[in-house]
Structure 1
Amino acid sequence: MGGEIFHFQGQHWHLLPERAIYWEEEKALILSDLHLGKAAHFRKAGIAVPAGIIQDDLFRLQQLITFYLPERIIVVGDMFHSRENNEVQYFQLWRQQFSNITIDLVKGNHDILADAIYEQLQINVHPSLTLRSIHFIHEPCEDSNGYQYTFSGHLHPAFVMAGAGKQRLRLPCFYFGRYCGILPAFGHFTGHANLDPSISDTVFVIAGKSIIRAQ
């Protein structure tokens, strides 16, 4: 697996082109915004969506699990997109392969399944989560709030790279501000929001199978 090891806040974060982070000290995979069930939700509304999206996303996650052997997976919100559907049932079958791994979900605005379903899926649900003074919430923060550092998701961040001949390319990214970081959307069936970081912020873009520091 390719990637970039970013030593930050006294921790080692493996920034992965699969749109996730491996947190070395906690032996944890961190990701956000899978939006499982979103494709089925759109199809139900009569909107044509390519098949196999959930399978592709969960296969990427499976590959990361096989390589890094994490003890836990931290999902920073919007693991699911809406109410229960066939894709949630597919995830339940997928989950059985990794029943030994703890899954912690920091609840996002789209995570509206019944509590009993999360229990069936062996998912621990939290309004927020703090480990080693690193805080996880779904929606981005603006200051420290008393924590060492905060990670969030929700925005599906992207950064516009400018090239020769006025070429511009928008790429998903990892964002590290002074107090808060924002994770890229793990799910492929999501939009993106362009970031306008300050000069002191750090941004890594995901370009295919590579991680590139943009600033």
Structure 2
Amino acid sequence: MTGVGGRPEIVLEGHPSDRNAPDGWRTYHFLYKPGNLSETPAVVAPHQPRLDWQMWFAALGNYQNNPWFLHLVYRLLQGEPDVLELLSPYNQPFPANGPPPKFVRATLYSYHYTRSQDCAGKQKCAWWKREKKAEYLPSLAINDKSFVDYLKQAKLISSGKTKPFRADNWLAKAVVWSRDTIGQPEGFHFTFSMFGSSILAMFLNRALF
């Protein structure tokens, strides 16, 4: 699926003012999937980063077959904090404490690992090289009528006001509290922390009891 032709990847970009601007587009960065050409590939397993994984599947098709992708774009246009926390916390183009973009677009690229011979004699060398394949999604604004109508028809956003979610049991309340307190944990470190804590508890249980 990602073999000889390279790894297909979608690059999401936002612009603060002009949907037709030739430059000034700012790239959204993800925690795990390839994006920045100079960024070291992330260690993932045994964590399963759902959003990054779904972005890869979306790159194998088109946005028409991935309505969730349009919902993601809509939330980026809103500057939704819970959605922004699913992305990389470093060097985000439109952080939650600032204004969201006016327009968002997506471009399809093919990524390849940089070959060792291409880095010969260089002090620094990018991990990836890429080539542009196609426009994946034209620039959209949050008030584009056809865009909003589609999301409503697909029941991805509500036509009216919705009641905010309220945790109604102690476990749900604990999860909401921890998320609000510490934010979105990094998946790989969180998984190994939980695994290591379980192993330590098992040994302590055997040693003490």
Give the TM-score taking structure 1 as reference length.
0.23
Q: Which has the higher strand share?
A: 1
Q: Which has the higher helix share?
A: 2
Bigger relative CO (Cα 8 Å, ≥ 6 apart)? 2
